[in-house]
Amino acid sequence: MARSAKTESTNGVETLSNRPDRVPTKREAELLAKIQSLELQVSQGPKPREITVKMSETTGAIVVSGLSGRFPTTLYRSSWQRLLTATVASLILNFIKENEQRITATMAAAGKRDR
C-alpha cells in the first residue's frame, strides 16, 4: 500500500516547508530568499544613519542631518564655531559624564522612534 504525503496547511494555505517533495518555483525561491534577507536585517537591528553636512540654500546656515530623528540640526557658522571649540566640547562631555545615569542614551530608550 502506497503511503501518501500528508501536507499541513496554515489557514488553508500549504507551505513549502511542509511539502519537502515539492520543488519551489523560481518566483517562490526568490520570495523565500527575500524573506530570509529581511529576517536577517530585522535581527541585526537598525543601521546607524549616515551623518551629512550641507549648507541651506535659503538661509546659508549649516545643516547636519542624521544625528537623531528626522529633523536636522541647523546653526549658523558662528554658532557651530562656538559649539565645536575644545572648551564647549569639554563642557558637554563633562556634563554627560556627571549626569550619565539620568541622561537617555538613545531615542528608543526615550520612547521615541526615528522615522
pLDDT for residue 4 is more than 60: no
Distance CA 23, CA 14 (A): 13
**DSSP one-letter string for 12-65:** TEE-GGG-TTSPPPHHHHHHHHHHHHHHHHHHH-PPPPPPEEEE-TTT--EEEE
| The residue to which cell 545615569 is assigned | 101
pLDDT for residue 104 is more than 90: no
Q: What is the pLDDT of residue 15?
A: 61
Residues 74 and 62 sit within 8 Å (Cβ to Cβ): yes
pLDDT for residue 108 is more than 90: no
Q: What is the pLDDT of residue 7?
A: 47
